[in-house]
Amino acid sequence: MSDTSLRVVWVYPDLLSTYGDQGNALVVERRAQQRGLAVQRTDIRSDQQVPTSADIYLIGGGEDRPQRLAAERLLRDGGLRRAVDNGAIIFSVCAGYQILGREFVNDLGETQQGLGLLDVVSTRGEAERCVGDVLADIDPDLGLPELTGFENHQGVTRVGPGARPLARVRLGKGNGTGDGTEGAWNDTVFGTYMHGPVLARNPQIADHLIKLALDVNALPPVNDQWYEALRRERIAAALQPA
């Protein structure tokens, strides 16, 4: 696969990069390079135009005000929607996940328009904050092992008919609706509340994004010893009695 290149964009690291979410970009980059792929990674700040011709776009979490600013700028820019129209893959976390939806509640307590790339609507929960480790079973159609991650959010996100839950929780709150769902996805757009960074805990998801971007069914195997050790450690810790 050495003749193939991959273009990766980390969106707005100056506004959306909490809880180590930038590690997701590092994991995608590393997993591609391990397969001999040339990777062109670009970090696009909020005062720059989002390119429309990349393969994979990664968006992290953020505090309430930066989330509002990011949503406003991404709507004005329009590049992310054009990228999806061009077949790009998007993986988003927490505030980034909410931004990709139809609407969310911002730091001013107002309903704010999202990008509409995922059929989800997010509100602010009245119950206690969702904090802690999560274990969840990923949608079987994705063919991926159980999801492990760390959630820290007040959001409640409801998945509409135009998307599917990314996973069903066995431990943790996930989307915060009480229906056991976590995250959402459609063909090429993925959202989750999981930090960790989540792709370090779940490298098979990073591989799935790469396969979608390259339009291939499989990637050459790599040494997953470190990743699997981390997964086992975090899953075991999550299952320990409180």
CA–CA gap between residue 27 and residue 198 (Å, rounded): 10
pLDDT of res. 3: 57
Burial class (CB in 10 A: 0-12, 13-18, 19+), 116: middle
Q: Is the pLDDT of residue 4 over 90?
A: no
129 annotated to bind ligand: yes
* pLDDT tier, 242 (very low <50, low <70, confident <90, very high otherwise): low
Rounded to two decimals, the pTM is: 0.96
pLDDT of res. 14: 96
Summarize the confidence of residues 229-239 as an average pLDDT: 91
Give tens-digit pLDDT for 196-231.
999 999 999 999 999 999 999 999 999 999 999 999
Summarize the confidence of residues 4-30 as an average pLDDT: 94
Give tens-digit pLDDT for 139-179.
999 999 999 999 999 999 999 999 999 999 999 999 999 99
Q: In 3D, which of 26, 80, 68, 30 has the Cα closest to residue 219?
A: 30
pLDDT of res. 208: 98
Q: In 3D, which of 124, 119, 133, 144 has the Cα closest to residue 195?
A: 133
Q: Which residues of 35-52 are buried (b: 16+ CB within 10 A; e: fewer)?
A: bebebebebbebeeebbb
Phi, psi of 33 (to 5 degrees): -65, -35
Q: What is the DSSP letter of 115?
A: -
Q: Are 15 and 62 in contact (CB under 8 A)?
A: yes
pLDDT of res. 63: 94
Give tens-digit pLDDT for 66-76.
999 999 999 99
Chain position carrying tokens 């990709």: 100
Cis peptide upstream of residue 13 (ω within 30 degrees of 0): no
CA distances from 145 to 35, 115, 141, 170, 228 (A): 21, 29, 11, 13, 11
CA–CA gap between residue 18 and residue 170 (Å, rounded): 25
**Residue 195 appears among annotated catalytic residues:** yes
pLDDT of res. 190: 98
Give tens-digit pLDDT for 78-128.
999 999 999 999 999 999 999 999 999 999 999 999 999 999 999 998 888
Q: Quote the Cα angle for 210-214-219, to 5°.
A: 60
